[in-house]
Amino acid sequence: MREPSAHKTASKLLVNAIELQTPVRSCYAAFHQFLIKLETARDIVHQKLLQRAVPSLMTKTDTQIDDVQLVARLKQRDKSALEDLVHIHGAKMYGVALQFMRNEYDAREVMQDALVSIWNKIGSFQGKSAFTSWIYRVTANAGLMALRKKKKFENNISLDATGSDEDDSPLPALQLRDKGPLPDKVVMTGELGDKVREAIDQLPEPYRIAVLLRDVEELPMSEVMQETGLSEPALKSRLHRARLALREALLPYLKGRDTQKS
Amino acid sequence: MSMKQITDFLKGILRPHGCGKTKQLLFEYVEGELPAETEARLAKHLGNCPPCLKYVESYRHTIEVTHHHGLPEEPMPDALKQKLCEFIRQNPDLK
């Protein structure tokens, strides 16, 4: 068990700090160090208990265990953990960044911003949600900020060409390149994914952002409202209109799935 | 057949499906935000109205496929991975 030794080390630091009459700030730093060690110890104990309790499930929880270690290392300010994070979760982060920015150069900037945010905010990660969801959310936020910086978002927010958020009229039809092969074959060959991304890409920017945050990233409505600065009715209207436009465009490719699903 | 059943049947003929309501309530229904009573009423309607059911299902499928396929599946270029690692090593903000 590492907890007692971490406790001992931290206690020693505190005693030394007090005996030497060091400033309050140093005592606080020692206490902070103690808390970090305690958290690491807790994560390691948790991981060991998990290994002991469910050895047969180890293969299923490998990623989670990696994440527990990653979080612990990041909290210890181990910079190499950030590099490991790029190797383990970089691909999905890249996907999120690319979907927001639509080009590799801007996506790279977003990933860099996201990495800095992860580094700075890791202390606030409580483990209430999965670590992966948290890092993708941070990446999505970085994407949104980057779009704001580029004023793409601001310029499109008036929605002159597409009506206001109170307007329930449908969005202009999304034009997918061609109808492609038969729906069943589309599903089989994975072309459905291309059609979905193409349709999302064609949505006017504010609608695309709403769909990316809510339906792709599955952020709670409250969080999307916070990120976009939209009121609840405005967000609902925007999301609904975007979904209807996507549905309309994707309908030929969804037909094959209707019978299986319902 | 009770009087109520006859009335419901006639209402069904005069206002086939009550479908306007389905469209109105679609978003809240899919988001699970409807009051229990309204949700039950709409669910009952969907049970009796295949076009509305199909409409709701296709709306749901759209959300599903958007979630599953919304992100590009392109692999992250190795060069980008390297650049990010260099960024991590050299960035003074990451202390």
> Which ipTM score applies to this complex?
0.77
CB atoms within 10 A of CB B45: 18
Closest CA to A110 of A96, A91, A97: A97
Mean pLDDT within A58-85: 81
Task: Please tell me the distance in Å from B64's CA to the nearest CA on chain A.
Answer: 8
Residues of A in contact with B84 (CB under 8 A): 86, 90, 108, 111-112, 115
Domain count, chain A: 3
Read off the pLDDT of residues B55-72 as tens digits, 9 standing for 90 and up. 999 999 999 999 999 988
% of chain A with per-residue pLDDT over 70? 60
**What is d(CA A214, CA A225) in angstroms, rounded to the nearest whole number?**
10
The segment with the largest mean pLDDT, out of A15-29, A217-231, B2-16, is A217-231
Inspect the interface and report whether the beta carbons of A254 and B65 lie closer than 8 Å: yes
Residues 6+ apart with CB under 8 A from A233: A165, A166
- Grouping H, G, I as helix, E, B as strand and the rest as coil, residue A116 is helix
Looking at residue A136, its amino acid is Y
Residues A172 and A229 in one domain: yes
Find the CB nearest A251 among B27, B53, B58. Answer: B58
Find the CB nearest B83 among A87, A108, A239. Answer: A108
Looking at residue A122, the DSSP 8-state letter turns out to be G
Residue B95 falls within a domain, yes or no?
A: no
Higher pLDDT, A79 or A61: A79
% of chain A with per-residue pLDDT over 90? 41
In the numeric block, which tokens belong to residue A50? 């998990």
Higher pLDDT, B64 or A54: B64
**What is d(CA A175, CA A67) in angstroms, rounded to the nearest whole number?**
41
Higher pLDDT, A188 or B59: B59
CATH code, A76:
1.10.1740.10
Last residue within a domain, chosen from A150, A185, A200: A150
Domain count, chain B: 1
Residues 6+ apart with CB under 8 A from A37: A2, A6, A9, A10
Mean pLDDT within A8-33: 64
- Main-chain dihedrals φ then ψ at residue A38, nearest 5 degrees: -65, -40
Please report which helix (H) or strand (E) contains residue A113, including its range: helix A104-121
Read off the pLDDT of residues A111-159 as tens digits, 9 standing for 90 and up. 999 999 999 999 999 888 889 989 999 999 999 999 888 865 555 544 3
Angle between helices A58-75 and A24-53 (to 10 degrees): 170
Average pLDDT, chain A: 77
Higher pLDDT, A123 or B4: A123
Only one residue has tokens 């953990």, namely A81
Mean pLDDT within A79-99: 93
Read off the pLDDT of residues B11-58 as tens digits, 9 standing for 90 and up. 554 444 468 888 889 999 999 999 999 999 999 999 999 999 999 999
Residue A157 falls within a domain, yes or no?
A: no
Higher pLDDT, A135 or A173: A135
Closest CA to A227 of A242, A246, A214: A214
Residue B49 falls within a domain, yes or no?
A: yes
Residues A239 and A258 in one domain: yes
Task: Please tell me the distance in Å from B9's CA to the nearest CA on chain A.
Answer: 25
pLDDT band for position A56 (cuts 50, 70, 90): very low
Domain ranges, residue A103 = 62-150
**What is d(CA A244, CA A163) in angstroms, rounded to the nearest whole number?**
15
Residue A158 falls within a domain, yes or no?
A: no
**What is d(CA A26, CA A6) in angstroms, rounded to the nearest whole number?**
18
How many Cβ contacts (< 8 angstroms) between chains A and B? 113
Residue B63 falls within a domain, yes or no?
A: yes
Closest CA to A240 of A141, A145, A168: A168
pLDDT(A181) > 90:
no
pLDDT band for position A262 (cuts 50, 70, 90): very low
pLDDT band for position A60 (cuts 50, 70, 90): very low
Q: Is A80 exposed, middle or buried (0-12, 13-18, 19+ CB in 10 A)?
A: exposed
CB atoms within 10 A of CB B4: 8
Domain ranges, residue B22 = 3-90
Read off the pLDDT of residues A209-251 as tens digits, 9 standing for 90 and up. 999 999 998 889 998 998 888 999 999 999 999 999 999 999 9
Residues of A in contact with B31 (CB under 8 A): 221
Find the CB nearest A247 among B58, B67, B87. Answer: B58
pTM for the full predicted model = 0.68
Higher pLDDT, A126 or A22: A126
Q: A172 — alpha (psi -120 to 50), left (phi > 0) or beta? A: beta
Mean pLDDT within A2-30: 61
* Contact (CB, 8 A) for A196 and B69: yes
Residue A155 falls within a domain, yes or no?
A: no
